Every structure is written in structure tokens, then in C-alpha cells.
Amino acid sequence: MDNLITDMVRSFGLPPLKRAAGVVTRLLPIPQPLLLVGPGASARLGEAIGEFGHRKVLIVTDAVIAKLGLMQPLTAALAAGGTRFVVFDGITPDAPIPEVEQGIALFKRKKCDAIVAFGGGSVMDAAKAIGLATANDMHPRELVGYFKGWHGPAPIYAVPTTSGTGSEVTVAAVISDPEHAAKLVIADTRIVPDMAALDPTLMTGLPPAITAATGMDALTHAVEAYIGGWSTPYSDRMALAAVRMIYRHLPIAWRDGNDLEAREKMALAAAFAGLAFTRANVGNVHAIAHQLGGRYHTPHGLANAIMLPPVLRFCAPDAGAKLAALAVHAGVGEDGQPEGVLVRKFLKSVETMNAALGIPRHLDALREADIPDLARAACWEADTNYPVPRRMTQRDCEKILRAVLPSKAAPKRAVRTPGGRTTKPAGKRRKRLP
């Protein structure tokens, strides 16, 4: 009976609801944070916060950042301005609910009245959840969905240390529920940070693998916002700018992590992509990636990067014009070329970018036995949340997931003999026809 109801909702109820939601997103006022950009931006944010007269600020971060001392310019500025603060460095990847609960308890116990999120996407999302939960005296699970709380959070400030999620400018907070191996999304315009510092000096130490995954995460945000059904002239402008910047600067930041210009451009690109998708939403890539993160704890940026090529191939029949435009803006195609040519060039460029950055084509953790459940959950998330250019069926999603299954065996290689001849690997002999 439950499956029948689900099928009926998917078949009849969602398209009208999505069209209505699309109208609402175009009209809904979404605040934008004041961005401080450039080397030393985190210290300037600390100075600004000091002028607001907060009683005590909760700084939400992770243990690695705390150990590296990256917060020192911010905390020194807070102290110089007479602003007291307490550090909560207990956030780990995916922002599990028990850690968010610890942050909520500390915020209340220390009588804080503002929050600074200092870290990657998980830290910023955890800070948003802490702020909204404390303002409404609600458990994070009760806030999952859209506009579940009556009250907005205390002021939230953000200092991203990666260039990927764009959480410093978005209405969403993604946390994880370890008990049910699931990722949960809280969406509310009031959790957009008031101010954010995009400081490239905080990102120079990122390893190439994290630079690659977070950069492709930002690219996914921009692409899905652009090809989806809720895009607006504003979101398109932000998305196209982000794509152009990522294609130009991500390879440089990956090769030379100390290139401050590339780091700053990538920080801006991630923010632009965040502004695009906070208005236009995301799509099938995220619907699948959230399931992989919930089931296997696959880092979100990596999951997006792996799933982007096969999902774009699936969406291409219904998103050709938009994909062609992306090819031109990314600099991999020329205006005036046939649409089909441009689409193929853009799809190829995404695969080439992944390969150049060391992103694997397959997800080692993925198991064939899990695919039906993963696909079912991904289809439901996409159907009920995202304005995708092409709707996935269960069968479609399973096929997409199977495209990234790990290879069962390494391909056989040709063998060079001592005499210099190359022989092909032995295989089954074909019978000669008479």
C-alpha cells in the first residue's frame, strides 16, 4: 500500500507542486551575506564582529583546524575588540547529529548569543543547525525540511576553509543521522550567515585531493543550478561565472596550493555557485550523492564529482541547450558550433577535468546489493525536492549507479617479451570455422 501511494504521488502530485515551488523560489526573498574577500579577511571579520557587542560567541570548528591554529587571526581580533568566545571543535565530516547536540548544549550552557562557523561545509552546516535548534528549542531532527522553526537563529558568521560547498551563502544545512545511515537537509532562509570571510590564506595548505573534490563540488552546484527547472537570470549569471572561474582556476589551485589568486578565485566561485543553487536548487547528482554519503560516508564533494559525468550523460537529451551554453562559457567550445557538438565537448571536458585532478571514475565502496535501495532513496529525494531537467526512474538510477561500480578485476595488459615483441593477454581461443 505504501508503495502504491508513493507511486501515485510521484506520478500525479509532484509536477504541479514543483511548478508552484518554482514560482515561490523566484519570489522568495533570500538574504545574501556581506562578503569580505582577500588575504586577511578572517581577521577583518573578527574586527567587524567585535563592533556588534555580542555577549559571547560560539566558534564552531573541527579538531584539525583548531590544532593548526588557523583561527588565530580571527580570535585575536575578537579578543582585541573585547568579545568573549568559546571554541567547540567537535565537528567531524557529515556533521553527525550527536555532535550537533553537543554544540547545542555548549551554546546554551555558555549563554552564547552569536555563532562563528570556521571550517568546511560540515562545520558550517553544523553551525547553522545549532543556531536554528537553540533559537527554537527543537531537536535537529524536528527541523529537517523547509521552515520548521518559528524563530530565526542568533547571528551566524562564516569563515570557509575549503572552496566547495558554498554553505557560507546558502539556505541549507546538511547533517547526518548515524542511527539511520542517512543525510538530512534543513532549509530556511534565516540560516544564511550575516557575514562571511573568503580568506585564501586559510586554503593554501589544503591537500590536492581535497582541493579537487571540493572544487568539483562547486562545479556540480553551478551546473545543476543552471540546467534545472528553477533557474532565474540571476542564478544563471552566478552559475555561469562560477563555471568559468572553476575551469580557469581549479587546475592551478590543484597544481600549486600556494597560488593565492587561484585560491581566492575558487573561494569566490564556490560562493557564486552557492548563490546560484540556493535560488535554483540542485538535482540528480545530489540526490544520489546524499545516499552515498549516508550509506558509505563518502565525502560529499567526492561523491558529487564521481556522479557528475554519468548523471550529465543521462540528462543530456533534455538539457542540450543549457549544456551547450556551459561548453562555451567553460571555454571548451565555440559559440556557433552545433548544439550536439558543444554538448559532447562539455561532457568530455568534465570527464577530462576529473581525470586530470585524480578523481576516480568508480566508487570503491559501492556494492551491487545496495543499488536498489540507494536508487529508491535517490529517486524519492529528487522527485520531492529538485527541479531536475530529466526525471530518473528506479531503473534509470540503478543504471547510473552501476556505471560507477568498482571494477571486479584490473584489465589485462599486453606483455613485452625479452625479444621486444608485444603479445596480447591469453584469452579463450575461438574455434576456426571450416
Write the DSSP assignment of 96-141 as a string of letters.
Answer: BHHHHHHHHHHHHHTT--EEEEEESHHHHHHHHHHHHHHHHT--GG
Q: What is the pLDDT of residue 16?
A: 61
The residue type found at 230 is W
User: Is the Cβ–Cβ distance between 266 and 222 less than 8 Å?
Assistant: no
The cell numbers describing 229, all together, are 527547472
Domain(s) of CATH 3.40.50.1970: residues in the chain:
28-202
DSSP 367: -
Mention every residue, 6+ apart, whose C-beta is less than 8 A from residue 306.
354, 359, 360, 361, 362, 363, 404
Q: State what percent of residues in the chain have pLDDT above 90.
A: 84
Question: In this predicted structure, what is the pLDDT of residue 181?
Answer: 86
Are 133 and 139 in contact by the 8 Å Cβ rule? The answer is yes
CATH code, 28-202: 3.40.50.1970
Q: What's the pLDDT tens digit per position in 333-368?
A: 999 999 999 999 999 999 999 999 999 999 999 999
Considering the chain, tell me which residue range(s) the CATH 1.20.1090.10 domain(s) occupy. 205-405
CA pair distance 315, 285, nearest whole angstrom: 10
Report how far apart the first and last C-alpha atoms of the chain are (Å, whole number). 60
* pLDDT computed for residue 5 by the predictor: 34
> What SS3 class is residue 314?
helix
205-405 homologous superfamily: Dehydroquinate synthase-like - alpha domain (1.20.1090.10)
Contact 167/274 with Cβ under 8 angstroms? yes
| Amino acid letter, residue 118 | F
| pLDDT number for residue 430 | 34
Residues of the chain scoring pLDDT < 70 = 1-27, 408-434
**pLDDT of 29:** 82
Encode 68-83: b = buried (16+ Cβ within 10 Å), e = exposed.
eebbebbbebbeebeb
Identify whether the C-beta of residue 300 lies closer than 8 Å to the C-beta of residue 217: yes
Cβ–Cβ < 8 Å for 274, 168: yes
| CA 168/CA 202 separation, integer angstroms | 15
> Hunting for cell 615483441 — which residue is that?
421
